[in-house]
Amino acid sequence: MAMEGKPIRCRAAVAWKPGEALSVEEVMVAPPKAHEVRIKVMASGVCHTDWAYLHGAGKGMELRPFPLVLGHEGAGVVESVGAGVTRFSPGDKVIPLFLPQCGECDCCLSPKTNLCKANWAKTQQGVLADGTSRISCRGTQVFQFLGVSSFSEYTVTLETNLTKIHPDAELDRVCLLGCGVATGYGAAVNVAKVEEGSVCVVLGLGAVGLAAVMGCVSAGAARVIGVDVNPDKFDRAREFGVTDCVNPRDHKRPIQDVLVEMTSGGADYALECVGDVEVMRSALESCRSAWGVCVIVGWTELEEMKLLPFHLLMGRTLKGTYFGGWKSVTDIPQLVEQHLAGRLKLDEFVTHTLTLDEVNHAFQLLAGGQSIRSIIKM
C-alpha cells in the first residue's frame, strides 16, 4: 500500500472529443474517498458500446461529458480502499461494474430486476457519488465512463460498483464478464429464459451475440440460427453451436420472412445483438405468434423502433435487457467460478490481445468486423 492516500501517476487512453482517436497519456488518479476503491486495472475488453459512445455520440447515443476515459469491461486488483469500505482489501481480484448492486434500493430488494439505481444519474454522467471523477489529465477533470474507466492503468470505483472474484481467475479473460459475455449469456438464460428443445434466432454474431448463442446452447436449444451481414463471423458462430448461418445480404426478401419460413412459422426466441432499430423489428417479426419472445440486447438510446402492434396482439413478447439480468455484485463471481469449472467459455471470444497504446487499433478491428473481442493488457 505504498501509494495509499496519495495520487497515482499512470497512463490512460483519454477521449478528448467525440469522434476523435483516443490519446494515451499520463493521468493522475486520486486516492479513493469514503466508500470507494482504487484498483490497478490489469486487462480490459473493448466493447461495441465504448466505440458507440465515442463515434455515435449525439446520434444513436446521448452525448456524454468529455473528456472521458472509456472502457467498462475490465478486471484488476485492489490497490487501496477508502474509509468505510469493509468488503475489499488490497490484493483482492475484482471486476468493476457499470451496473451497481447496492443491496438496499427497491430494485435490489426485488427479485424481478437487476437495475440498481444507486448513483445511477451520476455514473451515467461520468462522475462518482460526490459529483466528481478521480481521474485528471493536464489539470483537467476527466470523466469516468459509466463510473468505471477501464482504459486506464488505475481507476477508482464506488464500492457498490465492484465485485470480488475467485483468486484463481485469469483477469485477461474474466474481464469479459464485466460486460459483453455476461450480457449476451444472461439475455438468453435470464431474460428470454430459453427452454430445452426450442428454436432460437440470434441476430448479430459479435461477442454479445456469441454469448447469447452460448446461453441458448446451455439451455438446451434444439436449433440456433445465427444472422450476420458479415460472413466472416460464421465459422466461429458454428463452433459456439449455431446450427444455421444466415446472411441478410444473400436474400432479396426481408430477413424476418426468411427466418419465419426456415422455422415453419417463427422462432420461439429471437435475440437482437446488433443495436440497430431495423434489426430489432426483424427480430420481433421473426418470432412465432402465440408465444415467441424477442429480447433486445443491442444498444441505442435516441433512435425509435417501429413495430406493428399486431405482432404483440398475436401473443409475441418484446423485452429488453441491461447487463443480461444479472444482479451484478452477487452473480458475476458465480459466472467466474463457472468459467473456472470449465462450464463457461471465455477464451473463445478473444481474437486479439493488445497494449493500451494499441487501443485505437482495437476500435478499428471492432468497427471493421475483424475482431470478436480485443483484450487490452495493461
Q: Which residues sit at the interface with ligand NAD, rule CB under 6 A? A: 47-49, 52, 179-180, 183, 203-209, 227-230, 233, 248, 273-276, 279, 297-299, 321-323, 366, 369
Shortest distance, position 311 Cβ to ligand NAD, whole Å: 19
Positive or negative CA dihedral for 272, 275, 279, 285?
positive
Beta bridge partners of 61: 57
- Taking the complex as a whole, the smallest distance from the CB of residue 140 to ligand NAD amounts, in Å, to 27
Least CB distance from residue 115 to Zn ion, whole Å?
Answer: 8
- Position 291, amino acid: W
Nearer to Zn ion by Cβ, of 175 and 277: the residue is 175
273 binds, among Zn ion, ligand NAD, none (CB under 5 to 8 A by kind): ligand NAD
Single-letter residue type at 225:
I
| CB closer to ligand NAD out of 67 and 275 | 275
Strands (E), 288-333: 293-296, 317-320
Instruction: Report the C-alpha gap between 214 and 43 in whole angstroms.
Output: 23
| Minimum distance of Zn ion from residue 255's CB (angstroms) | 25
Binder to Zn ion among 179, 182, 189, 267 (CB under 5 A)?
179
Going from the C-alpha of 201 to that of each of 182, 188, 278, 336, the distances in angstroms are 18, 11, 16, 26
Q: Which does 279 bind (CB under 5 to 8 A by kind): ligand NAD, Zn ion, none?
A: ligand NAD
Q: Does 108 bind Zn ion (CB under 5 A)?
A: yes
- Binding-site partner at residue 160 among ligand NAD, Zn ion, none, CB < 5 to 8 Å by type: none
- What is the per-residue binding string for Zn ion in 117-136, x denoting contact by CB under 5 A? -x------------------
**Cell 477508502 sits on residue:** 82
- Residue of 10, 41, 49, 284 interacting with Zn ion (CB under 5 A): 49
Beta carbon nearer to ligand NAD, 85 or 108: 108
Closest residue (Cβ) to ligand NAD?
A: 206
| Amino acid of residue 349 | F
Cβ proximity to ligand NAD, 110 vs 370, nearer residue: 370
Coil, strand, or helix at residue 40? strand
270 forms beta bridges with: 201, 294
Which triple of cell numbers denotes residue 127? 462522475
CA dist., res. 321 & res. 191, Å (int):
7
Which of the 8 DSSP states describes residue 152? Answer: B
Minimal distance, residue 41 CB to Zn ion, in Å: 15
3, 21, 77, 105: which one contacts Zn ion (CB under 5 A)? 105
Measured from the CB of residue 73, what is the shortest distance to ligand NAD in angstroms? 8
Cα dist from 11 to 54, 153, 345, whole Å: 19, 6, 31
**What is the DSSP annotation of 218-272?**
HTT-SEEEEE-S-GGGHHHHHHHT-SEEE-GGG-SS-HHHHHHHHTTS-BSEEEE
Closer to Zn ion at the Cβ: 80 or 163? Answer: 163
362 binds Zn ion (CB under 5 A): no
State the sign of the Cα–Cα–Cα–Cα dihedral 227, 228, 229, 231.
Answer: negative
102 makes contact, choosing from Zn ion, ligand NAD, none, with CB < 5 to 8 Å by partner type, with Zn ion
What is the size of the binding site for Zn ion (CB under 5 A)?
Answer: 8
Binder among 116, 162, 199, 283 for Zn ion (CB under 5 A): 116
Query: Which of 30, 102, 305, 340 is close enough to bind Zn ion by CB under 5 A?
Result: 102
Q: What is the 3-state secondary structure (H, E, C) of 7-75?
A: CEEEEEEEECCCCCCCEEEEEEECCCCCCEEEEEEEEEECCHHHHHHHHCECCCECCCCCCEECCCCEE
Q: Is 365 a binder of Zn ion (CB under 5 A)?
A: no
Binding stretches for Zn ion (CB under 5 A): 47, 49, 102, 105, 108, 116, 118, 179
